[in-house]
């Protein structure tokens, strides 16, 4: 199914207000846009959803800015041009950006588009509450639930990217065009309330015709998003007073936020409406664009075929056009090189998640130790050939069921201990080692000895499970592990280059050949125990190093240029500061 939003309704788009740019667009005449008619008629009111989604897919919104720049660099994901430290793209990733960043400092960028979508949602929420009779009309109730959830998605990513931001939960008026930032805790509390309401209004996956698609919000996703927001709200983050701390609001105390996450996740699990697939199957299903709800994917940002840059930026690179793709793109970001070596032998996630080759002339060829690709997104898995030169149209999988299981395990461990949490964790681990159940049982016995051991296992498991899905940075921030894990990653990268510590015994080169199918590469030398003697029987070899002698910047030195805890968030860009009538600032964050 490609694509349920192929035609964007102009009803709300034409009337929307661009909150971030502080402009009020000319509204159509009353006769062409009567809220009392639109929001009391399900077929018309559903246009609100399309209008909000349009803001997701704009050039500089999720499509070409947020998805590629938010989430790197961490101990699991990096910008593949890591040694290029001074350009604006790199500075968005290496914790050293400023208010004039050339990739973001425009009035049509992610910040602006997120608030544009929020304004469209605010208008729809007001209209539906005023005219929709949602208490007696299930179709309109579902639309209201979906709009509330989409607004929460946008706020979730604003909070992840910028920390404290303006809270806009009503349509713009002349009195509210310019407002100051709100404490993020205020926004979190409103979103938790909104999503509780949304979940009551929404059906489960496949309960209605509209919820048969992963491109439409359902009850499980609203509950999953509420769990994710609860964990973030109760977690650590950098504050404008210079501290890294949890919220001081008693409503967001850890016991309360973990209780919310636990209940929401258990509701989803007990509903039986979502299920795990085989790990590789999850991403083949995504790439084949079936769109079916009720599997592992819980909601996806829908991109049309001419929109979206998921493989373009995050997929396995094709250096030339070939039978699988009409564009030579992929690999802007990739796995941190140490990730491949963090997986245990037999973990079925490793070779799906971390790919050491690219495609050239229709054949796979090895890259280098400092350039890996996320194998979750592949042109060669798609059921169509991408023809656009700038976009691939693959949806972004925003949440999947494995995340619910691991959030449940985390919350239950905190509240009830590891033994109670173990069954949810084990489902994810058992899939990863489906060929070795004894290994899974042994591991579970080890980590359930204490709450601390189990928490540390969750930290590790989320890295292995979600590499390339851009969840790691926000996880590390809420656990207060961002700086610690990044400093540890720098040491690991140095050890990998020197073949010391856990990397002792790895070869300094790899050997490779093309398989009989004339397109698949066979690589030897990635594992301990591999020898140069056996490797010499392969057709070709190449050095497997992070740095060349001529490199001005060592690979690990590009990971972060400042203490990551001093720039957990991006600044509000200068164009929005200038247009705020003095209301917005970056005080307390020392952006350079």
- Give a yes or no: residue 453 inside a domain: yes
- Give a yes or no: residue 113 inside a domain: no
- Taking only the tens of pLDDT, the chain with its 592 residues reads 455 443 334 344 434 433 333 333 333 334 445 899 999 999 999 999 999 999 999 999 999 999 999 999 999 999 999 999 999 999 999 999 999 999 999 999 999 999 999 999 999 999 999 999 999 999 999 999 999 999 999 999 999 999 999 999 999 999 999 999 999 999 999 999 999 999 999 999 999 999 999 999 999 999 999 999 999 999 999 999 989 999 999 999 999 999 999 999 999 999 999 999 999 999 999 999 999 999 999 999 999 998 999 999 999 999 999 999 999 999 999 999 999 999 999 999 999 999 999 999 999 999 999 999 999 999 999 999 999 999 999 999 999 999 999 999 999 999 999 999 999 999 999 999 999 999 999 999 999 999 999 999 999 999 999 999 999 999 999 999 999 999 999 999 999 999 999 999 999 999 999 999 999 999 999 999 999 999 999 999 999 999 998 999 999 999 999 999 999 999 999 999 999 999 999 999 988 7
103-142 core/surface letters (b: 16 or more CB in 10 A; e: else): bbbbbbbbbbbbbbbbbbbbbbbebbeebbebeebebbbb
- Give a yes or no: residue 511 inside a domain: no
CB-count burial class (<10 Å; 0-12, 13-18, 19+) for 384:
middle
Q: What is the DSSP string of 86-136?
A: SSHHHHHHTT---TT-TTT-STTSHHHHHHHHHHHHHHHHHHHHHH--TTT
Structural domain count of the chain: 1
The answer for residues whose C-beta is within 8 angstroms of residue 356's C-beta and 6 or more apart is 340, 366, 367, 372, 373, 510, 523, 526
d(CA 147, CA 406): 27
The answer for residues whose C-beta is within 8 angstroms of residue 31's C-beta and 6 or more apart is none
Longest alpha-carbon distance in the chain: 81
HSE, side-chain direction, 13 A CA sphere, residue 532: 7
HSE, side-chain direction, 13 A CA sphere, residue 511: 15
Q: What is the DSSP string of 145-170?
A: HHHHHHHHHHHHHHHHHHSSB----S
What the block records as the tokens of 5 is: 């939003």
- Give a yes or no: residue 545 inside a domain: no
In the DSSP assignment, the letter for residue 438 is H
d(CA 18, CA 25): 7
CB-count burial class (<10 Å; 0-12, 13-18, 19+) for 389:
exposed
**What is the distance, to the nearest Å, from the Cα of residue 37 to the centroid of all Cα atoms in its chain?**
37
What the block records as the tokens of 27 is: 């509204």
Q: Could you tell me whether strands 396-400 and 237-238 are parallel, antiparallel, or unpaired per DSSP bridges? A: unpaired
- Give a yes or no: residue 506 inside a domain: no
CB-count burial class (<10 Å; 0-12, 13-18, 19+) for 490:
middle
Give the three-class secondary structure for 524.
Answer: strand
- Give a yes or no: residue 457 inside a domain: yes
- Give a yes or no: residue 563 inside a domain: no
- Give a yes or no: residue 458 inside a domain: yes
Q: Which domain holds residue 426?
A: 401-493
What the block records as the tokens of 404 is: 């619910």
């Amino acid at each position: 199914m490609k694509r349920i939003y192929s035609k964007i309704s102009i009803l709300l788009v034409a009337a929307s207000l661009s909150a971030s740019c502080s402009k009020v667009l000319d509204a159509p005449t009353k006769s062409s846009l009567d809220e009392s008619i639109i929001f009391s008629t399900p077929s018309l009111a559903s246009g609100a959803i399309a209008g909000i989604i349009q803001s997701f897919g704009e050039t500089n919104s999720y499509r070409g800015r947020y998805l590629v720049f938010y989430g790197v660099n961490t101990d699991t994901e990096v910008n593949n041009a890591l040694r290029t430290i001074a350009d604006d793209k790199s500075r968005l990733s290496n914790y050293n950006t400023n208010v004039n960043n050339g990739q973001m400092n425009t009035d049509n960028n992610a910040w602006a588009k997120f608030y544009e979508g929020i304004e469209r949602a605010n208008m729809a929420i007001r209209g539906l509450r005023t005219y929709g009779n949602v208490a007696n009309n299930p179709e309109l109730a579902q639309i209201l639930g979906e709009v509330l959830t989409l607004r929460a998605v946008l706020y979730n990513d604003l909070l992840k990217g910028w920390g404290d931001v303006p809270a806009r939960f009503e349509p713009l008026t002349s009195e509210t065009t310019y407002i100051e930032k709100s404490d993020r805790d205020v926004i979190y509390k409103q979103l938790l309330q909104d999503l509780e309401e949304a979940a009551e209004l929404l059906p489960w996956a496949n309960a209605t015709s509209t919820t048969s698609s992963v491109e439409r919000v359902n009850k499980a996703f609203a509950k999953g998003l509420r769990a994710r927001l609860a964990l973030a709200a109760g977690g650590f983050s950098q504050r404008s007073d210079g501290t890294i701390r949890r919220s001081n609001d008693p409503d967001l105390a850890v016991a309360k936020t973990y209780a919310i996450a636990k209940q929401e996740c258990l509701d989803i699990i007990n509903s039986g409406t979502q299920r795990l697939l085989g790990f590789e199957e999850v991403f083949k299903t995504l790439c084949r664009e079936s769109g079916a709800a009720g599997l592992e994917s819980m909601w996806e940002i829908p991109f049309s075929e001419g929109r979206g840059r998921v493989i373009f930026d995050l997929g396995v690179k094709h250096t030339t056009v070939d039978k699988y793709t009409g564009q030579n793109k992929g690999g802007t970001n990739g796995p941190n090189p140490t990730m491949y070596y963090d997986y245990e032998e037999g973990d079925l996630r490793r070779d799906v998640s971390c790919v050491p080759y690219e495609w050239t002339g229709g054949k796979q060829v090895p890259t280098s130790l400092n350039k890996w690709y996320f194998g979750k997104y592949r042109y060669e898995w798609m059921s169509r050939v991408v023809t656009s030169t700038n976009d691939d149209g693959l949806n972004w999988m925003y949440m999947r069921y494995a995340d619910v299981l691991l959030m449940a395990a985390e919350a239950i461990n905190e509240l009830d201990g590891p033994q109670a949490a173990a069954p949810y964790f084990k489902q994810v681990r058992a899939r990863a080692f489906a060929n070795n159940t004894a290994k899974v049982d042994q591991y579970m016995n080890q980590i359930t000895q204490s709450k601390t051991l189990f928490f540390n296992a969750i930290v590790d498991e989320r890295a292995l499970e979600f590499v390339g899905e851009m969840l790691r940075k926000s996880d590390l921030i809420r656990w207060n592990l961002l700086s610690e894990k990044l400093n540890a990653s720098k040491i690991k990268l140095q050890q990998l280059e020197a073949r010391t510590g856990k990397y002792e015994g790895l070869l300094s080169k790899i050997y490779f050949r093309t398989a009989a199918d004339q397109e698949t590469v066979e690589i030897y030398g990635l594992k301990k125990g591999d020898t140069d003697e056996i490797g010499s029987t392969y057709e070709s070899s190449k050095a497997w190093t992070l740095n060349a002698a001529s490199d001005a910047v060592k690979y690990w030195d590009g990971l972060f240029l400042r203490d990551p805890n001093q720039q957990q968030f991006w600044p509000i860009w200068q164009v929005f500061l200038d247009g705020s009538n003095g209301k917005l600032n970056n005080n307390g964050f020392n952006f350079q």
